[in-house]
């Protein structure tokens, strides 16, 4: 069966592990209530997407994309450039998200989203 042919290394194993990590990060975001843990889940999601892109850029028998004497096959440099930008933007948004979490903790005293909704509803009822 073609399924077994593809499953033996190398095949598509890299992509399946990347999708598993993506779903793990996604599960943490939608099922846990703690805000810091949600941000950790988002980071795991981002890392798995980077893994998917870099795996797609690898060429069998190639080397790192740095010109040198006697090397003719290189791995694709374009995904490297995109992921370099994405990593830096990811850390910038994580820093901003963590700053928001600190401010929320100051205003409400908690970082569990169930308790925050309760406090917000009580504040609206008082007005």
**Per CB under 8 A, which of residues 14..33 are in contact with other proteins?**
14-17, 19-28, 30-33
Q: How far apart are CA 69 and CA 87, in angstroms?
A: 31
Looking at residues 62 to 101 of the shown chain, list those that interact with other proteins (rule: CB under 8 A).
62-68, 73-81, 83-85, 87-89, 91-96, 98-101
Q: How far is the CB of 91 from other proteins (least distance, A)?
A: 5
Contact 44, 21 (CB under 8 A): yes
Local structure of 61: helix, strand or coil = coil
The DSSP secondary-structure symbol of 69 reads: T
Total binding residues toward other proteins, as defined by CB under 8 A: 82
Pull the structure tokens for residue 127. Answer: 């007005």
Which of 1, 9, 124, 125 is close enough to bind other proteins by CB under 8 A?
9
Confirm or reject binding of residue 42 to other proteins (CB under 8 A): no
HSE-CB of 116 using CA atoms within 13 angstroms: 15
User: Toward other proteins, which CB reaches closer, 78 or 123?
Assistant: 78
User: Toward other proteins, which CB reaches closer, 39 or 119?
Assistant: 39
Which of 1, 4, 7, 11 is close enough to bind other proteins by CB under 8 A?
11
Q: Please, is 88 exposed, middle or buried when counting C-beta atoms within 10 Å of its C-beta (0-12, 13-18, 19+)? A: exposed
Q: How far is the CB of 81 from other proteins (least distance, A)?
A: 5
Residue indicated by tokens 């908690």: 110
């Amino acid at each position: 069966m073609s399924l077994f042919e593809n499953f033996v290394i190398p095949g598509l194993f890299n992509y399946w592990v990347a999708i598993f990590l993506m779903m793990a990060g996604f599960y943490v975001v939608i099922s846990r209530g703690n805000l810091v843990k949600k941000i950790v889940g988002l980071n795991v999601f981002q890392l798995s997407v980077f893994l998917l892109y870099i795996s797609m850029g690898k060429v069998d028998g190639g080397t790192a994309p740095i010109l040198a004497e006697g090397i003719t096959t290189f791995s694709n440099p374009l995904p490297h450039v995109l992921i370099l930008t994405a990593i830096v933007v990811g850390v910038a948004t994580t820093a901003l998200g963590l700053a928001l979490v600190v401010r929320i903790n100051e205003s409400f005293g908690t970082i569990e989203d169930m308790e925050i909704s309760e406090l917000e509803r009580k504040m609206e009822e008082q007005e």
